[in-house]
Chain A
Amino acid sequence: MSFEPKIVGFLCNWCSYTGADLAGTSRIQYPPNLRVVRVMCSARIEPTFVLRALAGGADGVLICGCHPGDCHYSEGNYKAMRRFPLLKRLLKDHGVDNDRVRLEWVSASEGQRFADIVTDMTERVRALGPLRIKSDLQTDLVER
Chain B
Amino acid sequence: MERQRIGVFVCSCGTNIAHHVDVDAVCESVQGMPDVAIASSYRYMCSNPGQEMIARGIQEHQLTRVVIAACSPRMHEKTFRGACKRGGLNPYLCEMANIREQCSWVHSDRLAATEKAKALTSAAIRRVRHHEPLESLTAEMCPNTLVIGGGIAGLTAALELADAAHDVFLVEKTERLGGNLARVDLTAPHLDSARDLLTERITRVRDNPRIKLLLNSELRNLVGYVGNFSATVRTNGASGAHEEKTVDVGNVIVATGYQEFDAGRVTHYGHGKLPNVVTSFEFERMLRTGRIETRDGRLPQYVAIIHCVGSRNKEFHAYCSRVCCMTALKYSHELKSANPSCYVSDIYVDMHAFGKGCEDFYKTTSEVKTLFLMFDKNERPVIRKAAPSDDCDMLIEVNETLSGERIEIPADMVILMVGMEARSDSGEVARLVNISQDRDGWFMESHPKLDPVATTTDGIYIVGTCAAPKDIPDSVAQARAAAARILGKIAKGKIEIDGVFAEVQDERCSGCRMCNELCPYSAIEFNLDTRRSHVIPAACKACGACVAACPSGAIKGRHFTVEQLHAQIEGVLL
A residues sitting closer than 8 Å to B (CB atoms) are 6, 8, 13-14, 17-18, 20-21, 23-25, 27-32, 35-41, 43-46, 48-49, 52-53, 56-58, 70, 72-76, 79, 83, 109, 115
Contacts of A25 in B (CB 8 A): 101, 105
Q: Are A24 and B100 interface neighbours, CB within 8 A?
A: yes
A30 vs B112: C-alpha distance in the bound complex, in angstroms?
Answer: 12
Contacts of B544 in A (CB 8 A): 39-41, 43-44
Which stretch of B151-159, B382-390, B480-488, B561-569 is in the interface? B561-569
Bound-state Cα–Cα, A41 to B518, Å: 13
Q: With a CB–CB cut-off of 8 A, which chain B residues contact A44?
A: 543-545, 547-548, 557, 560
User: In the assembly, what is the distance between CA of A17 and CA of B109, in Å?
Assistant: 22
Smallest CB-CB separation from B438: which chain A residue?
Answer: A109
Q: Do residues B116 and A32 form an inter-chain contact, with CB atoms below 8 A?
A: yes
Chain B interface helix/strand/loop/mixed: helix
A37 proximity list for chain B (CB < 8 A)? 123, 565, 568-569, 572
Query: A20: shortest Cβ distance to chain B, in Å?
Result: 5
Residues of B89-108 contacting chain A, CB below 8 A: 98, 100-103, 105-108
Chain A contacts for B183, CB-based, 8 A: none
Which residues from 210 to 234 on chain B have a C-beta closer than 8 Å to any C-beta of chain A? Answer: none
Q: How near does chain B come to A42, taking the closest CB pair, in angstroms?
A: 9
Q: Is the CB of A17 within 8 A of B548?
A: no
Contact check, A40 vs B116: say whether CB atoms are below 8 A apart.
no
Residue B56 at the chain A interface, CB threshold 8 Å: no
Total inter-chain residue pairs, C-beta < 8 Å: 127
A40 in contact with B548 given A28-B106, A32-B107, A76-B520 (CB within 8 Å): no
B115 contacts chain A at the CB level, 8 A cutoff: yes
* CA distance in complex: A49, B563 (Å): 10
- Whether B545 and A41, one on each chain, are in contact in the complex, defined by CB atoms closer than 8 angstroms, is yes
Q: 1/0 per position for B532-566, CB-CB distance to A under 8 A?
A: 00000000011111011100000001001010011
Q: How far is the CA of A117 from the CA of B196 in the complex (A)?
A: 55
Chain B residues packing against A (C-beta within 8 Å): 72-75, 98, 100-103, 105-109, 112-113, 115-116, 119-120, 123, 431, 434, 436, 438-439, 456, 518, 520-521, 541-545, 547-549, 557, 560, 562, 565-566, 568-570, 572-573
Q: Is the CB of A70 within 8 A of B436?
A: yes
- A29 close to B573 (CB less than 8 A): no
Are B545 and A14 interface neighbours, CB within 8 A? no
- The CB with the most chain A CB atoms within 10 A, among B75, B115, B520, is that of B520
Q: Which residues of A contact B456 (CB under 8 A)?
A: 14, 72
A39 and B560 contact, CB distance less than 8 A? yes
The answer to whether B109 touches A43, judged by C-beta atoms less than 8 angstroms apart, is no
Q: Which residues of A contact B573 (CB under 8 A)?
A: 6, 8, 35, 53, 56-58
**Complex formed: what's the CA distance from A18 to B434 in Å?**
18
For A46, give the chain B residue with the smallest CB separation: B548
Contact: B74 with A18, CB < 8 Å?
yes
Select B106's contact among A29, A72, A73, A74, beta carbons within 8 Å: A29
A62, B521: Cα distance in complex, Å: 28
**Set of chain A residues within 8 Å of B436, measured between Cβ atoms:** 70, 72
List of B residues within 8 angstroms of A52 by Cβ = 566, 569-570
Kindly state the separation between the CA atoms of A58 and B574 in the bound complex, as whole angstroms.
10
Q: How far is the CB of B449 from chain A (nearest CB, A)?
A: 13
Could you tell me if B106 and A24 are in contact, using CB atoms closer than 8 angstroms?
A: yes
| Chain A residues positioned under 8 Å from B112 (CB to CB) | 32
Given the interface pairs A32-B112, A73-B520, A75-B520, the reply to whether A46 lies near B542 with Cβ below 8 Å is: no
10 tightest A-B CB contacts, nearest first: A24-B101, A44-B544, A35-B572, A43-B545, A24-B105, A73-B543, A41-B543, A74-B520, A21-B101, A32-B112
Across-interface contacts of A28 in B (CB, < 8 A): 106
A43–B542 Cα distance when bound, in Å, is: 11
Query: Residue on A with the closest CB to B16?
Result: A24
Chain A residues lying within 8 Å of B74, measured Cβ to Cβ, are 13, 17-18, 21
For the complex formed, measure the closest distance between the CB of A134 and the CB atoms of chain B, giving whole angstroms: 11
Q: Do A8 and B569 touch across chains, with their CB atoms under 8 A apart?
A: yes
Which residues in A have their C-beta under 8 angstroms from that of B520? 73-76
Q: How far is the CA of A58 from the CA of B568 in the complex (A)?
A: 13
| C-alpha spacing A73/B431, complex, angstroms | 10
- The smallest beta-carbon distance between B570 and chain A, in angstroms, is 5
With A8-B572, A41-B544, A76-B543 as known contacts, state yes or no: A35 contacts B120, CB within 8 Å. yes
A20 interface neighbour in B102, B562, B569, Cβ under 8 Å: B102
Contacting B569 at CB < 8 Å: which of A13, A56, A109? A56
